[in-house]
A and B are shown apart, each in its own frame.
Chain A
């Protein structure tokens, strides 16, 4: 099982049935797997902020929503996470390819890569950083249970070494 299959299997294990996505080089195959799954509604979006709006509507409609995104999109989404998700207390599983981490080949990814944990901390969003496939299979479903119970978004940061 490669990294993409692991993430997909973990989403299924979590009971995720609604996914919005924006691509990252690391997320392409996960998006394909999600797109082929008849039990998951998959909505590619134009911007992460919009994706969080759509996930909120899906939650109101009774779905278990997740967003597949690159960490750079977190910067586009700060207000919606605060003034929609925190204000109304709503859950969402944020699966983020964390660029700008160990092994990054593109210097331009480094500033937002470094800022990402701090932005999540400023928003009081808990996040987990699974290093291995076994850990991802265990913590991603647990993270969704926590998100739904606490009625708050939760982050899964998947750094560059995870995708190797």
Chain B
């Protein structure tokens, strides 16, 4: 059961995004990207518009390819869709990789159908895969501690179901990609 005092996802996204400076962010498809774009836009953000499940894997490839810290904003449904990649992330052991899973126990962008995280605990799964540095946040977020931890880090961020009333992202996919790649090149 979700605790009654937990945050809206947009509030959690805002708090974490405000604590980031130079870190690169890969943000999951659907409302999470729209909410991040609404609360804070930056050339360090890569917004996904398709390929559900791939955020964690894209972040891994990016973390292995350059030195900057990579923060992935993922969701419970997406992690369940590509759970094998948790094993790859752990085995590749990227020190500059942080996976934040906003878990609202539902497929929020398609009408809030339940996911199996109502039954299983993603934090326990990450720990049993072998992740050494893991965090669970409900009512408050201590993201400074996360940023100071050696990766790969797994953050289980429990949030309320539901989406904020925010507009779609008014950038073309190629524009998102090119701006992001320029930013990566600026300081690899």
A-side interface residues toward B, CB under 8 Å? 18, 20, 41, 43-47, 49-63, 65, 79-80, 82-84, 87-90
Asked if A60 contacts B46 (CB within 8 A), the reply is: yes
Interface of A is mostly: helix
Asked if A62 contacts B84 (CB within 8 A), the reply is: no
Binds A, one of B33-41, B57-65, B155-163: B57-65
Binds A, one of B6-14, B108-116, B133-141, B177-185: B177-185
For residue B130, CB closer than 8 A to chain A, the reply is: no
Asked if A84 contacts B65 (CB within 8 A), the reply is: no
Asked if B62 contacts A53 (CB within 8 A), the reply is: no
Kindly identify which residue among A54, A80, A87, A88 contacts B60, using a CB–CB cutoff of 8 Å: A54
Interface positions of B from 47 to 79, Cβ below 8 Å from A:
48-66
For residue B167, CB closer than 8 A to chain A, the reply is: no
For residue B82, CB closer than 8 A to chain A, the reply is: yes
Kindly identify which residue among B61, B82, B173 contacts A55, using a CB–CB cutoff of 8 Å: B61
The 4 A-B pairs of least Cβ separation, nearest first, read A57-B61, A83-B50, A61-B65, A53-B57
- A45-B184 contact given A54-B61, A83-B50, CB 8 Å threshold: no
State how many angstroms separate the Cβ of B141 from the closest Cβ of chain A. 25
In the bound complex, CA of A131 to CA of B177 (Å): 36
For residue B87, CB closer than 8 A to chain A, the reply is: yes
Interface of B is mostly: helix
Number of interface residues of B (CB under 8 A): 36
A contact residues around B46 at 8 Å (CB)? 60
For residue B148, CB closer than 8 A to chain A, the reply is: no
Asked if A60 contacts B92 (CB within 8 A), the reply is: no
Asked if A62 contacts B50 (CB within 8 A), the reply is: no
A contact residues around B188 at 8 Å (CB)? 61-62
For residue B88, CB closer than 8 A to chain A, the reply is: yes
Kindly identify which residue among B62, B88, B174, B181 contacts A50, using a CB–CB cutoff of 8 Å: B88
For residue B85, CB closer than 8 A to chain A, the reply is: yes
State how many angstroms separate the Cβ of A38 from the closest Cβ of chain B. 14
A contact residues around B85 at 8 Å (CB)? 45-46, 50, 53
Asked if A79 contacts B64 (CB within 8 A), the reply is: no
